[in-house]
Amino acid sequence: MRHRARIALPLLLLVAATPAAARPCAAIDADARAGIADRDLPALSRLVDEAARPDAGCTDAWRAALGDDVANAHVDAFFAAVEADGDAAAHLDLLEAGRRFGAPWQLILTLAEVRYERADYDGAAPLYEQAVATLARRAATGSDADLAALPDEAAFREIHARMATAALLASTYETPAVTRGDPASGLYAERYRGFTVAAVPVPVQFEFGTTAFTEKGRRAAEHLAAYLRASHLAAVTLVGHTDTVGGDADNMALSLARAEAVRAFVAAAGYSGRITVEGRGEREPFRGPDDARFAGDAAARDALDRRVELIR
C-alpha cells in the first residue's frame, strides 16, 4: 500500500508559491517574434510579463522595444479587424489595450486619426501632439532605419494640419511640456526632414467680440509663451484672424487687438524676442486638408477661422 508523502503545511505553501525560473531573454524573443507574426495578443501579453521578471535578464531597452512591438501588434490587429468589417469604432479597444505596452508613434497616431474621424477633437488633439513630437524627434535624431520607417514629408504636412485642426476645434487645450532645445514640440514642431513649419495656427480663443481669453485660450497662450521662452527665436510675428461675423473693418481691428493681447501675454510671461503683430480680419480663412469636411458646418468653420497665427 502506497502512502502519500506528508509535507508540513508551511513548506507546502512555500513550494506552491515558488515560481519556476524565468527563461532567458533569447527564448522570450523567439516566442515574441512568432507571436507578432501570428498576432497572438494574449501570448504577447504573457511574454511582456515574463520579460519583466528580473531573473529573465532582459535589459530595459530590450523590454521597451518589446513593449513597442507588442503595442504595434495591436495596431496591426486593429487594421485587420477594420478591413474585415469596416467599423473602426468597434475595434478602438484594441488600440487602447495596446497602450498598456508602449506608446510607439504608429499606435498614438492611429488613435488620433480614429478619434479625429469620430469628431472627438478633445481626444484627438493631445494624441496628435504626442505623435508629432515623437515623429519630429525621430526625424531629427534617428538612424537611417528609423527614417525609412517614418512618414514622408507630404504625409507629415497632413498630420500636422489635422493636429492644428483638432486643437482649434477642441473644447479645451492640454498643455504639453516644452523642453529647451527639443525640436519635438508637438504643435510647435519646427521641422521634419526637409519640411519647415513656418506658420502655426495657435488655438488661442477669446470671449465673443473681446480680447479676453477663454480658459482654453489662456492655456494655449501659456503653451505658446513656454515654447517661445525655450526657443532660439529672436523674432516672431503674430497674426490675428477672425470669423465672418461682423463687418470687415470691425474684424480687422479686432484681429489686430487680439494679436496685441497675445503679444502682451507672452512678453509678460518672459519671452524677450521681438514680436511683430498684424491683423487680417476675416480675409484669410483657415485652410487645411479636410476643408470639404467642414464646408457645411458653420460653427466649425468659424472656430477654425478664429485663431492667432505664429509666423517664425
Structural domain boundaries of the chain?
A: 198-312
Q: Can you tell me the mean pLDDT for 294-307? A: 95
Q: Kindly tell me if the per-residue pLDDT of 116 is higher than 60.
A: yes
Q: Which residue has the cell 494655449?
A: 220
- Confidence band of 175 (pLDDT split at 50, 70, 90): confident
Split at pLDDT 50, 70, 90, the class of 188 is very high
Pick the more confident residue, 182 or 64.
64
> 1 falls in which pLDDT band (50, 70, 90)?
very low
| pLDDT value of residue 143 | 82
pLDDT in tens, 21-39: 779 999 999 999 999 999 9
Distance (Å, whole) CA 106 – CA 131: 8
The average pLDDT across 150-177 equals 94
- Alpha carbon distance, N-terminus to C-terminus of the chain: 91
Beta-carbon contacts of 101 under 8 Å, excluding residues fewer than 6 positions away, are 44, 45, 48, 67, 68, 70, 71, 74
Label residue 182 by pLDDT band (50, 70, 90).
low
Where residue 19 falls among pLDDT bands split at 50, 70, 90?
low
Decide if pLDDT at 150 tops 90.
Answer: yes
Q: Find out whether 240 and 257 touch, Cβ atoms under 8 Å.
A: yes
Class of domain 198-312: alpha beta
The 10s digit of each residue's pLDDT in 205-243 is 999 999 999 999 999 999 999 999 999 899 999 999 999
Compute the mean pLDDT over every residue in the chain, rounded to the nearest whole number.
91
